Chains A and B, each alone.
Chain A
Amino acid sequence: TSQKKKTYIVHMAKSEMPTSYTEHSNWYDSCLKSVSNSAEMLYTYNNVIHGFSTRLTPDEAESLQTQPGILSVLPEVKYELH
């Protein structure tokens, strides 16, 4: 149960993108694949954050947090109408 996948929002430091990448989305994808072969991006965010959302196990999320260029890996939060 502890390794059940959850949605995370991954904040990237765009300025730290290695020069070998020309598209930040490719860099995001590469970072994600480094911790999970099966994970797919739900959204890529370009304006309000630099980063993406994806489904990861807690271990994968922890591992991703240690990768260079990752600012934070935050679990998804449910909001409610007021």
Chain B
Amino acid sequence: TTRTPEFLGIDKNEGLFPESDSLSDVVIGVLDTGAWPESKSFDDLGLGPVPSSWKGECEISKDFNSSSCNKKLIGARFFSKGYEATLGPIDESKESKSPRDDDGHGTHTSTTAAGSAVDGASLFGYALGTARGMATRARVAVYKVCWLGGCFSADILAGMDKAVDDGVNVLSLSLGGGVSDYYRDSVAIGAFTAMERGILVSCSAGNAGPGSDSLSNVAPWITTVGAGTLDRDFPAYVSLGNGKNFSSVSLYSGKPLPDSLQSFVYAGNASTASNGNLCMMGTLSPEKVAGKIVLCDRGINARVQKGAVVKDAGGAGMILANTAANGEELVADAHLLPATGVGQKTGDLIKSYIFSDPNPTATIIFAGTKVGIQPSPVVAAFSSRGPNSITPEILKPDLIAPGVNILAGWSGAVGPTGLAVDTRRVGFNIISGTSMSCPHVSGLAALLKAAHPDWSPAAIRSALMTTAYNTYKSGQNILDIATGKPSTPFDHGAGHVDPVSALDPGLIYDITADDYLDFLCALKYTPAQISSLAKRNFTCDTKKYSVTDLNYPSFAVPLVTEQSGGDSGSSVVRYTRTLTNVGTPGTYKVSLSSSASESVKISVEPDSLSFSKVNEKLSYTVTFTTSSMPSGTNAFGRLEWSDGKHVVGSPIAISWS
């Protein structure tokens, strides 16, 4: 990626990160749509021999040969039996029955995690810079489990099964399914074994935001990653016939619109279809849009497809207006015709103009790439949000990372829009999603794994979470672009990843595989359900298990609103946590902040922890004393331990339902 290394501070702190030997021993397995091995991001210049412990393979087929793999891309497999069993044989005229990536998504995610540095990378000149993965010296193994028709759990399990056996150290999955109990969810099941074997599993949180309860991949042994913006934008300016100008974003590259204002029409008025405003296939009347700029509403079909529909109908350009579902979030696209996206408010103003002027006109001016955009990051509107609908006592997402307008490697088999009519071919593409934020964290986890080879997956996640930031330098909370207001831990988890701080977290919250088994007992899983996850007989003890005892680096406190006529007294909830010292000896003191001090009293006992040696463990208890509040009320806070040098932060989310 370009810009994210600078944004994350890993470009100027190379010396802090592990030297080549330890990092090049780390293998990141990516379950996705495969890889385009010819991508420059898979260049293996300067990398030493493949780690001797590696058992993976480069699976050969007619379009993927042994030379497709090298010392960077050290493994490539594909899993299609589940897909073919359901949808029939793969049509090899449309997709490769091999690890080759015909989609682009897998190349994008794998190069984001661990791509080699490529100078002069850009998409049509946009986002120009040196593109590199987060862990440039880590190795990549791709497991193609996603096809044109989707990703089937039989194939995903097979990919995870092989990846674990091959010897990956980090697994990156930018995919998700519906919400289901952990013992039914193949990704959660596969991730449990991976965790037991010391493999950190990083998954995307999902793009179902900004609605609440919209998360995927919420098992506590998974690192769940939401998405935020960078300080980079791709501005375009919309000028209207009434003299007003508006900002927008676009990655259009091609013949610009004429300098003069063009006729302008609302798609809903250029169609006989009831949903003509959406610019769906075949809904625009060519005689009404020919030579004009068309305003389309966002929703239902792909943004870039709307552009193609306008182009097919003879339109000269397109302005794509967000609706309430997307608010002011602007996602840039490499449209096939001069086109740009505007936020809901701007879209409404533009529509007012179109509807009030008998001969509306407009034009679009494209302004390239701009960096230094503030505030940044902001939580992406699409990023899925908590609470965690499976286990509300575990706060998810865990953290956010860059996931909006990310440039990374792309497949040579498909154009940047992914549309069949897009015959352009690019080495790099700019796309958005929690799919893009997940591999950022996967790569950063690889850096931590190399720096601290003895750390468990939970320790690595803890370091990433407790050092994440949730305020700007001004002290203001990170904003949520969906609302324009400060985001909450249900939106950003622990906050935005800060890899330089994560290298030296001071203290960590560790969790063992046995701790997770206790957690399953607390969920009252049956022996068969536990055995499905853990693959061994495990009998829960007669002792009292509590979900809140899981040594998680964050606090979610779900409370039930008392019904009228019931006891209106306060309730008291206690969470116990254990901190492990991974730094120098020192005394840490606690501090607390809360957004609702009247309805919630939080206390910590003890309020000071003195660590005298490395790996010493000390426990503390947090007591939440809460008043009854109306259902739907949330309160948020933060608990921090600090020795003056390190700040070990944990978000707190209290919710009444």
Contacts and interface: CB of A to CB of B under 8 A. Distances in A.
A80 B157 contact: no
B390 interface: no
Interface string A1-35: 00000110101011100000000000000000000
A76 B145 CA distance: 14
A74 B154 CA distance: 10
Given A13-B531, A79-B177, A82-B176, A47 B85 contact: no
A29 B365 CA distance: 65
Nearest to B190: A48
Contacts of B82: 7, 42-43, 53, 76
B161 A47 contact: yes
A53 B157 contact: yes
A15 B534 CA distance: 12
Contacts of A45: 157-158, 161
**Secondary structure type dominating chain A contacts:** strand
A48 B154 contact: no
B152 A7 contact: yes
Contact of A42 (B85, B105, B174, B434): B85
Interface string A41-78: 01101111110010100000000000000011010111
Contacts of B24: none
B156 A79 contact: yes
B632 interface: no
B interface residue count range (under 10 / 10 to 19 / 20 to 34 / 35 or more) = 35 or more
B150 A43 contact: no
Contact of B186 (A9, A13, A15): A9
Contacts of B190: 48-49
Contacts of A14: 535
B164 A78 contact: no
B146 interface: yes
A77 B532 contact: no
Nearest to B530: A71
A48 B536 contact: no
A9 B154 contact: yes
B528 interface: yes
Interface string B170-183: 00001111101001
A55 B84 CA distance: 11
A54 to B, nearest CB: 9
Interface residues on A, range: 20 to 34
A49 B434 CA distance: 27
A38 to B, nearest CB: 13
Contacts of B194: 48
Contacts of B427: none
Given A77-B177, A77-B180, A81-B105, A71 B164 contact: no
A14 B537 CA distance: 9
Contacts of A81: 32-33, 105, 146, 151, 174-175, 433, 435
B438 interface: yes
Contact of A76 (B153, B164, B175, B189): B153
B424 interface: no
Contacts of A7: 82, 85-86, 152, 154
B187 interface: yes
B178 A77 contact: yes
B193 interface: yes
A49 B532 contact: yes
A78 B152 contact: yes
Given A74-B184, A82-B433, A46 B165 contact: yes
Contacts of B165: 46-47
A49 B435 contact: no
B216 interface: yes
Contact of B151 (A9, A47, A80): A80
Interface string B374-406: 000000000000000000000000000000000
B122 interface: no
A82 B206 contact: yes
A77 B153 contact: yes
Nearest to A49: B189
A78 B177 contact: yes
Interface centre among A53, A55, A79, A80 (most CB of B within 10 A): A79
Contacts of B531: 11, 13, 71
A48 B81 contact: no
Contact of B177 (A46, A48, A80): A80
Contacts of A46: 161, 165
Given A42-B81, A43-B81, A76 B152 contact: yes
A74 B529 CA distance: 12
B442 interface: no
A49 B535 contact: yes
B160 interface: yes
B207 A82 contact: yes
B174 A82 contact: yes
A45 B187 CA distance: 14
A78 B531 CA distance: 23
A49 B193 CA distance: 8
Contacts of A50: 535
A7 B156 CA distance: 13
B298 to A, nearest CB: 18
- Give the residue among B207, B532, B536 with the most A Cβ atoms within 10 A: B532
B152 A79 contact: yes
Contacts of A72: 183, 528-529, 532
A55 B83 CA distance: 12
A80 to B, nearest CB: 6
Given A45-B158, A77-B186, 13 more contacts: A43-B81, A43-B82, A43-B157, A46-B165, A48-B161, A72-B183, A76-B152, A76-B153, A77-B153, A78-B177, A79-B146, A82-B175, A82-B204
CB-based closest 10 A-B pairs: A53-B154, A82-B204, A82-B435, A48-B190, A79-B177, A42-B81, A79-B151, A48-B193, A11-B532, A43-B158
Interface of B: 32-33, 79, 81-82, 85-86, 105, 146, 150-154, 156-158, 160-162, 164-165, 174-178, 180, 183-187, 189-190, 192-194, 204-207, 216, 433-435, 438, 528-529, 531-532, 535-537
Interface of A: 6-7, 9, 11, 13-15, 42-43, 45-50, 53, 55, 71-72, 74, 76-82
16 contacts: A6-B86, A9-B153, A9-B157, A14-B535, A42-B82, A43-B82, A49-B189, A76-B82, A76-B153, A77-B152, A77-B153, A77-B177, A79-B176, A79-B177, A80-B177, A81-B175
